[in-house]
Amino acid sequence: MEQHFILRLKDGLKKVINLTESTLESIDSERVQLVHNNKKYPGIIIRLPCIIDTHKTLDKKQYYKVCDVSTLIVIYPNYDYDFERERRILEISGLSAPLKYVKMRRFKKNVTGKIHLINEIEQKVNELLEKDKRAKKVEIEGDVQEKVDDDILDIVAEIESNLEPSKINIKNLETANVHFDTPEIIELKKEIEQQENLVKNALNPILQQRFKVKLEALQKKLEDLCNEN
């Protein structure tokens, strides 16, 4: 498989260097050097913000994609350059004019200011999970004098009002001297009993409210069947 990159020679080096008689040596993932006539020219590796396709053609009519190019290598005449500054300038732009400073204009900025907060939160969560695993008993305690936002109080009051016991009760229906012996009613009673257990055992108020709504619907359905009989 072919690997392509773009080679750029700075400050008139292309008039001095014959690339067919030169070798390119890699130093690390960010630096290279070009050797020509036993003289070494420093270079840097730039990761382009945009990928470029390279193509080949045999008849100048049909073109075949060969490789994706995402690397730019810049060769300098000497070591007197600030290579880190050069890298920062080149990495934010593409090759064509519309892509100048594209990394600053179009790409989303990395959120670096809150990284330490994220690490602290993850550490605290892991510590709490470890304590929860080692705990033999868990108790939830609340401070009565804690100041709570008014909006939260309104939401809690609304949830509690919605969790009032339903006015429809199966026992009241059973005391009406009506005998429900159809298979549909028997199956419906079983579903209501299961739903009552879910409401009773639910610890989350929101889940309990959902189970309550379904229970009321089942009880209403049972009441309608009783009236029909």
Residue 212 is assigned to a structural domain of this protein = yes
Residue 12 is assigned to a structural domain of this protein = yes
Residue 195 is assigned to a structural domain of this protein = yes
Domain stops at, among 88, 104, 120: 104
pTM of this structure: 0.45
Q: Give the pLDDT of residue 150.
A: 60
Domain stops at, among 64, 79, 104: 104
Residues 6+ apart with CB under 8 A from 49: 91, 92, 93, 94, 99, 102, 103, 107
- Please tell me whether residue 91 adopts helix, strand or coil conformation: helix
Tokens 């079983």 — which residue?
A: 190
Q: How many domains does the chain have?
A: 2
Written as six digits, the tokens of 217 are 């619907």
Q: Give the pLDDT of residue 144.
A: 46
Q: Give the pLDDT of residue 110.
A: 63
Residue 170 is assigned to a structural domain of this protein = no
Instruction: Clarify whether residues 98 and 187 are in a common domain.
Output: no
Residue 143 is assigned to a structural domain of this protein = no
Q: Give the pLDDT of residue 103.
A: 85
Residue 122 is assigned to a structural domain of this protein = no
By CB neighbour count within 10 A (0-12 exposed, 13-18 middle, 19+ buried), where does 43 fall? buried
Residue 209 is assigned to a structural domain of this protein = yes
Give the structural domain span for 46: 6-104
Q: Give the pLDDT of residue 228.
A: 72
Tens-level pLDDT at each residue, the chain (229 residues): 468 899 999 888 888 898 888 999 999 889 999 999 989 999 999 999 888 899 999 998 999 999 999 999 999 999 999 999 999 999 988 888 888 888 888 876 665 656 667 778 888 888 888 888 887 776 666 554 455 456 566 665 666 565 555 444 544 544 444 454 577 777 888 888 888 888 787 777 777 777 888 888 888 888 887 777 6
Residue 109 is assigned to a structural domain of this protein = no
Domain stops at, among 104, 137, 168: 104
Calculate ∠ Cα 58-63-66, nearest 5°.
95
Written as six digits, the tokens of 107 are 């790409």
Helices (H), the chain: 83-91, 102-105, 115-134, 150-162, 170-174, 183-201, 205-228
